[in-house]
Amino acid sequence: MNLRATQKTAAMLCAVSALLLCANMACAATKNSCYACHDKAAFTQKVIHLPVAQQRCDQCHNPHLARYAGLLHKQGAELCAGCHAKLTKQIKTQQYAHQPALQGQCNSCHNPHATNQTHLLNDESHTLCLSCHDELRTPEKFVHAPFAQGKCATCHDAHSSDNPMLLRSQANQLCLGCHQSTSKLSTKHLNRDMNKIDCLECHQPHQADNKALLRGIQHQPFQQGKCQVCHNNNSGTSAICLTCHPDIMASFNQPLNHVIPDSNTSFCFSCHTPHASQQKGLLRGYPGEACRSCHEGKFEQRKESLHRHPNDNNCVDCHQLHGSSMPAMPKGDRQNNGDTACLGCHENHSNFSHPTGDKAHDPRNGKAMNCASCHDPCNGTIYKYNLRGTSDKGLCIQCHAGY
Partner 1 sequence: MRGIDMKNITIRLIIFHLCVVTLLLAMAAVTPVYAKAPEWVSELIFPAPQQVSAPLAMAIDSERQRYYVVDSQKGKLLSYAGDGAALADFDAAGALQHPTDMSFARPGKLWVVERERNCLLYIDMSSQQVREFSPVTSSGKHIFIGHIACDSDHRLYVADRFSGRIYALDDNLQVVYAFAPHSGGHFIDFKIVGKQLWALEREQQAVYQFTLDGKQQQRITLDRPLRFPYSIAVDKTRQLYILDRASAKIFHFTTAGKYVAQFGQKGSRRGQLNYAAQLMFDWQQRLCVVNQGNDLIEVFSQQHQ
Positions that interact with partner 1 (CB under 8 A): 236, 238-239, 252-257, 259, 261-263, 267, 295, 297-298, 325-328, 334, 361-362, 364-367, 373
Q: Minimum distance from CB of 231 to partner 1 (Å)?
A: 19
Residue 100's Cβ-count burial label (10 Å; 0-12, 13-18, 19+) is middle
Minimum distance from residue 129 beta carbon to partner 1 (Å): 35
User: Nearest 5°: phi and psi at 95?
Assistant: -65, -40
Burial of 240 (0-12, 13-18, 19+ CB in 10 A): buried
Phi, psi of 34 (to 5 degrees): -60, -45
Task: Single out the residue of 358, 362, 350 nearest to residue 395, CA to CA.
Answer: 362
Answer for the pair 257, 322: CB distance below 8 angstroms, yes or no.
Answer: yes
Rg, C-alpha atoms of the chain: 30
| Closest CB to partner 1 among residues 185, 244 | 244
CA pair distance 61, 33, nearest whole angstrom: 13
Q: What are phi and psi of 386, to 5 degrees?
A: 55, 30
CB of 162 to partner 1, least distance (A): 19
**Given the complex with partner 1, which of 202 and 329 has the nearer CB atom?**
329
Give kind and range of the element (H or E) at residue 4.
Answer: helix 2-37
Shortest spacing between CB 402 and partner 1, in angstroms: 18
Q: Which is nearer to partner 1, 13 or 328 (CB)?
A: 328
Quick one: 205 or 338, whose CB is closer to partner 1?
A: 338
CB of 381 to partner 1, least distance (A): 12
Q: How far is the CB of 257 from partner 1 (least distance, A)?
A: 8
Could you give the 3-state DSSP secondary structure of residue 329?
Answer: coil
Residue placing its CB nearer to partner 1 in the complex, 218 or 305: 305
User: Closest CB to partner 1 among 216 and 394?
Assistant: 394
